[in-house]
Amino acid sequence: MLLLAAVLGSGGEFSPAPSRSQQAEPGGEVQPEDISFPSAGLDLHGFVYRPAGPGPHPAVLFNHGGGPRDPEPAHHALGPRFAAMGYLFFAPERRGRGQSPGEYLATLIPHEADPQAEGRLRAAELEIELFDVMAALRYLEARPDVDSADIIMAGWSTGAALTLLAAERAPDLRAAITFASPRAFWSRSPEMQARLLAAAREIRTPTLLIQAENDLDLTPTMAISGELERQGVPHTTLIYPPFGISADEGQAFCALLGTDICWPDIAAFLRETVGGPRR
């Protein structure tokens, strides 16, 4: 289902989401805890935002983007909101990013690589980073304060692509949410296109795709949405009006900036599609 999000600001087809003042948030905004988890011989770093109460809690695993930005801003924007809604929010940092050890894989791609070669390398990079995502999911499922049958995965930019690949491998995820898309390399990486569309053909997880109209390229989101539609997968695609004045600001929409605008629709999707937290 494709919706222009301009009509959803007041709820649209969804019921209005509760305001934050209606959501339990004892002691003020939740602060993140630093954790470590194993992946392919590395002890990677992550942040956990815990909701009130002992659990076990439903959970959200958030996959950060792949550019040079520090991955922290997105989890600062989203973590407290999901925790206030009752979800334990886990933001792992993949190898070479933030406080995690290892090589940041994008730096291994030669600067002199032609666009097509770079596209092939970026597609291969996704498969390697997927190891860290699946390791993070195993860590989350094993936590005693997490309901392993009630886990949602979300991701921004490259993390959106990884979320789709993980949803293909982990059909028991309750829902998937993508912010923006791997738009920077889609046009010059037939390998990435083929891999993500193949994943979309296998996904059976209810999916929410979010993007601002002025992001660099809407093609990946629309192609994936179309594949989900053909497979009969419950999904909603929200294209919001332009955010900010640049494509970079459009890409940052919702996950990093402008979260207040899209949050009611995220909460409504979870409530209407998967029933919200199962507790």
DSSP codes of every residue in 13-76:
TSPPPPPGGGS--TTSSPPPEEEEEEETTEEEEEEEEPPSSS-PEEEEEEE--SSSS-SHHHHH
CATH class of 2-273: alpha beta
Show the DSSP H helices in the chain as ranges: 72-84, 115-142, 158-169, 183-186, 190-202, 219-231, 247-252, 259-273
Per-residue confidence (pLDDT) for residue 185, from 0 to 100: 74
Residue 109 DSSP label: S
* pLDDT value for 21: 29
Task: Give bridge partners of residue 42 from the DSSP assignment.
Answer: 39
| Tens-digit pLDDT string for the chain (279 aa) | 666 553 333 223 333 233 332 233 444 578 999 999 999 999 999 999 999 998 999 999 999 998 655 666 778 899 999 999 999 999 999 998 889 998 876 665 655 566 667 667 777 888 889 999 999 999 999 999 999 999 999 999 999 999 999 999 999 999 999 999 877 678 878 888 999 999 999 999 999 999 999 999 999 999 999 999 999 999 999 999 999 999 999 999 999 999 999 999 999 999 998 887 765
Q: At what angle do helices 219-231 and 190-202 cross, to 10 degrees?
A: 30
pLDDT at 12: 30
What is the predicted pLDDT for the residue at 3? 66
Question: Could you tell me the two tokens for 222?
Answer: 């629309």
Amino acid 36 reads S
pTM of the entire structure? Answer: 0.88
Distance CA(38)–CA(131), nearest Å, equals: 11
Task: Assess contact for 173 and 151: CB atoms under 8 A.
Answer: yes
Provide the pLDDT for residue 80: 95
- CA atoms within 13 A of residue 185's CA, in its CB half-sphere: 28
Domain locations along the chain: 2-273
Query: What is the 8-class DSSP label of residue 241?
Result: P
